Amino acid sequence: MKWMKFRIKTITDAEDIIISALYDIGLEGAQIEDKVPLTALEKEQMFVDILPDGPEDDGIAYLSFFVEEKDGELKEDGQPGLILNGEETSEEAILECVKRELEDLRCLMDIGEGTVSVEETEDIDWINNWKQYFHQFMIDDVLVIPSWEEVKPEDTGKMILHIDPGTAFGTGMHDTTQLCIKALRKFITPETTLLDVGTGSGILAILSLMFGAKKAVGTDLDPCAVDAVRENMEANGIAADDFTMMIGNIITEKEIQNQVGYECYDIVVANILAEVLLALTPVIVHQLKKGGIYITSGIIDDKEETVVSAVKAVGLEVLEVNYQGEWVSVVAQKSS
């Protein structure tokens, strides 16, 4: 399947109104490219695996809309037919409609340059194309293998984590994830009950069970995490009773806090951005058992002291501060 891409150069303030206007003529699913910094809410809903610093916002935005080409047929002018709203149309007709909508908006507000470029995309599997960049790798003595690769004969004796992160969650390659894994390996015992806040694809909780933990609970904001965790549990032979998943915000939702439980976790691990850890730590201290271990990562190096101070402020003792690349992990303990 091939697509025709209509790409509009505009300004960030006009993004929403242009998307809305073009939605009305049948163009849906805009791809947005801009340099707008993340809001506090967006940061709260993201868990590591992002660049620590983004480019400076220049106010420019690009909006791309994709229209399906009609298979195997060219129009009399040699151009492919396009399918929009279930009907055949042409590049020229769509381009004319887009330009007309933009000119109408220009009479009402600033839309910047408002130019439109058109190009044919390659025949790409948009959902799975990213997989070409993710291959098996080692984290200490753990071999991480994506679901689409086979275990080599020489690797059969290794501890193997089969992982399919999907398109929304991490793979375990990020420094912050590896910092957490190394700390978990150190502190897990056969009696460990673990809470993984922001579990994503379930990597940390699943590995904890493979390391010998007795039970794991994971929380996440994204409902997609449920399917990701289930598939990765099945791939690694994790029993359903050993890993419980909950969707909700443990920082702000009392119901989730109650479901998770109080003073019942030997380890809480949170691989989340530093800004979120500041809000999480005063809450999560109540989920930890006395003597429990709090493992945090997702901390860019210049946020180290801020997180350490937040941990100490709730009465936890800092045991370790570990580093990998430009990222930091803080490990602390609740007093017995």
From residue 41, alpha-carbon distances to 14, 114, 161 in Å are 21, 29, 32
What is the sign, positive or negative, of the torsion defined by CA atoms of 144, 260, 277, 281? Answer: negative
From residue 161, alpha-carbon distances to 78, 141, 176, 196, 201 in Å are 51, 11, 17, 17, 12
Is 220 annotated to bind ligand? yes
Helix ranges, the chain (H): 15-23, 40-44, 91-106, 175-187, 203-210, 224-235, 254-260, 274-284, 304-313
Structure tokens at 60: 């420019």
* Residue partners of 273: CB distance under 8 A and separation at least 6: 43, 46, 47, 48, 50, 298, 299
Is 248 annotated to bind ligand? no
Is 271 annotated to bind ligand? yes
Is 198 annotated to bind ligand? yes
Binding residues for S-adenosyl-L-methionine: 177, 198, 220, 271
Could you list the residues known to form a binding site, using ranges: 177, 198, 220, 271
